[in-house]
Structure 1
Amino acid sequence: MSWDEAIADFESHLAAERGYSSSTVRAYRSDLRSLAEFAEKAGAEDPSQLDLAVLRDWLWRAQQEGLAKASNARRAAAARGFTSWLQRTGAAPVDAGRRLRAPKADRRLPRVVTREQASGLFDGLTARASDGDPVALRDLAVIELLYASGLRVSELTGVDVDDVDLDRLTVRVTGKGSKERVVPFGVPALNALVDYLRMARTALAARAADTSLTATHALFLGSRGGRLNPRSVYRLVSSLLEELPGSGPSGPHTLRHTAATHLLDGGADLRAVQELLGHASLGTTQIYTHVSTERLKETYQRAHPRA
């Protein structure tokens, strides 16, 4: 089996059997193509000739070239999954990556928007939507739902109209590993969604040049009538956050971090936040307790006369 054939079959395995998202599959594909190019230069003409030394050299080379630890850790995960699959399917005699290790990724605290900044952000969005512009109404509903529910951007853009229960104030989403969960949201998000559905969604659907391209089931529509895509949400959130003080990432995940941190600051149970976010491991959710602690320290340093 050639490298191209193996990588293509492994992609199908990830998507169909493991339920990985399209973005994760793309990342793994990129990593494995890099591995294939490196391995072929090292003499491994096909995946069956791959060994641990080549895998280690590949990761080491990437580290020397300045690849971030988090990216190298993902590369190692992609390689281990690939070599394990190769052995299980009989495409390789042994699992070459079974003992492969990568440097642990730096655990940086995520960027969090303050309550005051979030309030100002929503005031601005509400003002923009006050004249009934369909895109502005949609943007307000998107940001309200992201902040209220802590959704991933892929989850948000995958929501259909029927997934939203306006009576119970919940939304059903499909997260990582194709796992479904039901997430609550608050009254401000409800009001924004109702206004969007009543005054904006139909107008956006009518903008489709070809009505067959209209995303009839999607909750959020783009400016041309199709399903709103993650890239558009990234641009929206980035444009809003770049106006706020603070450093760090400015994508939709910042609103997810913010929602989780504000919940914990308000006394929410860690397990409940884990369920809300759809984290498989409680350890992933615990990063937000560190954020809350750091915020407490900062407040203490600013406010206490003997700090």
Structure 2
Amino acid sequence: MIDVEAFVEHLRHGRGLSEHTIRSYRSDLADLVAFAAVHLGRDPRVADLDLDLLREWLYRATRSGLARATLARRSATARAFTRWLEETGRTAVDVGVRLRAPKAESRLPRVLTEPQIDGVLRSLELRADTDDPGARRDLAVVELLYGSGLRVSELVGADLADVDLGRLMVRVTGKGAKQRVVPFGVPAAEALGRYLDRARPSLVAAGGEPGTTAFFVGAEGGRLGTRAVHRLVARLLGDIPGAGPAGPHALRHTAATHLLDGGADLRAVQELLGHASLGTTQIYTHVSTERLRESYRSAHPRA
């Protein structure tokens, strides 16, 4: 029997990974076990997980049309699992050490222009002026996502005690359970203040969870979920031209790019975003360069 859950517990307590990452590992391994069962015609055992079977699993996934990024993640999941099997004595050797998958596509992230993000915020402000509690919360959510470049998991994980409106700072827990303090601007502070005063109490009362410590709450009074934020941002960005996913991460990409466009130091942006590697942040310099090229080509008479 292949004990995926023991590996999941190792990820949760031994490596401190986020629940989102752990769900991806569990999903990939569940698919691997299901494939092995069909391939072998019986319940697979740890000893059945050899390099040939892992390669066949990735090959079938490739033929099914999965994106290269997904294939690369599955390969990484399998290698992490087989390494853990060897380290814990469940297998004599790490059979996945030579497993490879296609490199992930190198695509520039989606970034909104300043007029586009201004238009999004103006539409939210008009809705918020109707005194609808949900609309006031939505404005505060988008202002903070764009104003601080937060990950959606960091935003929904924030508690009341984490937001300091006086100092314009929010404390968040990022990848690897690492905490950092991130600044936000005056427009975000104003939207957050109005949400706290005029919207959050109504949302909490409607849901019947008066004791919740969550800063952002949903329609039922509990902590706002990541899916709700994804739906909100996807709806707001759906009609705006541009390539790439129309989710909360587009606002994070936009914040980082606008900071660099405005002259911010790359390492300061790295710290703001909570990137472990400067190389991860450097993609936004490529975005800024591409935006410069586009502006040049469209505006310069001899372009």
Q: Scaled by the length of structure 2, what TM-score is found?
A: 0.96
Q: Which of 26, 30, 47 is matched with 2:27 structurally?
A: 30
- Partner residue, 1:106: 105
- Partner residue, 1:153: 152
Counterparts of 2:164 and 2:75, CA distance in 1: 41
Counterparts of 1:273 and 1:110, CA distance in 2: 16
Q: Which of 227, 234, 253 is matched with 1:231 structurally?
A: 227
What does the per-residue CA deviation read over 1:35-69, in whole Å, with 9 as the maximum and x for residues that have no partner? Answer: 11223344483123311121112112211221110
What does the per-residue CA deviation read over 1:92-136, in whole Å, with 9 as the maximum and x for residues that have no partner? Answer: 111111121211100111111100111111111111111221111
- Partner residue, 1:168: 167
Counterparts of 2:227 and 2:31, CA distance in 1: 25
- Partner residue, 1:290: 286
Counterparts of 2:141 and 2:114, CA distance in 1: 18
Note the C-alpha offset of 1:27: 1.2
Aligned residues with identical type, % of pairs: 62
SS in 1 for 2:230: helix
Counterparts of 1:94 and 1:38, CA distance in 2: 22
Maintained 8 Å contact 1:7/1:32: yes
What does the per-residue CA deviation read over 1:158-210, in whole Å, with 9 as the maximum and x for residues that have no partner? Answer: 000100111211111111111111111000000001111111111100001xx
Counterparts of 1:283 and 1:40, CA distance in 2: 40
Counterparts of 1:47 and 1:202, CA distance in 2: 53
Counterparts of 1:88 and 1:260, CA distance in 2: 39
Instruction: Give yes or no for the alignment of 1:266 onto 2:262.
Output: yes
Counterparts of 1:257 and 1:52, CA distance in 2: 38
SS in 2 for 1:305: coil
- Partner residue, 1:10: 7
Counterparts of 1:214 and 1:78, CA distance in 2: 40
Name the stretch that deviates more: 37-46 or 165-174: 37-46
Instruction: Give yes or no for the alignment of 1:21 onto 2:7.
Output: no
Maintained 8 Å contact 1:49/1:92: no
Instruction: Give yes or no for the alignment of 1:242 onto 2:241.
Output: no
Note the C-alpha offset of 1:267: 0.7
Aligned length: 301
Counterparts of 1:245 and 1:106, CA distance in 2: 21
**Which runs of no fewer than 5 residues in structure 1 stay unpaired?**
none
Instruction: Give yes or no for the alignment of 1:178 onto 2:177.
Output: yes
Quick one: which amino acid aligns to residue 12 of structure 2?
A
Counterparts of 1:69 and 1:215, CA distance in 2: 44
Please show how residues 116-135 of structure 1 align to structure 2 within 5 Å. 116-135=115-134
Counterparts of 1:120 and 1:65, CA distance in 2: 39
C-alpha RMSD over aligned residues: 1.3
Q: Scaled by the length of structure 1, what TM-score is found?
A: 0.95
Quick one: which amino acid aligns to residue 88 of structure 1?
E
Maintained 8 Å contact 1:40/1:46: no
- Partner residue, 2:272: 276
Counterparts of 1:48 and 1:180, CA distance in 2: 40
Counterparts of 1:214 and 1:228, CA distance in 2: 14
What does the per-residue CA deviation read over 1:191-236, in whole Å, with 9 as the maximum and x for residues that have no partner? Answer: 001111111111100001xx3x456100000011111000110111
Counterparts of 2:94 and 2:139, CA distance in 1: 50
Counterparts of 1:204 and 1:65, CA distance in 2: 44
- Partner residue, 2:52: 53
Note the C-alpha offset of 1:247: 3.0
- Partner residue, 1:141: 140
Counterparts of 1:214 and 1:175, CA distance in 2: 27
SS in 2 for 1:104: coil
Counterparts of 1:15 and 1:169, CA distance in 2: 32
Counterparts of 1:206 and 1:45, CA distance in 2: 51
Maintained 8 Å contact 1:205/1:226: yes
Note the C-alpha offset of 1:20: 1.4
Note the C-alpha offset of 1:75: 0.1
SS in 1 for 2:206: coil
Instruction: Give yes or no for the alignment of 1:189 onto 2:182.
Output: no
Maintained 8 Å contact 1:170/1:182: yes
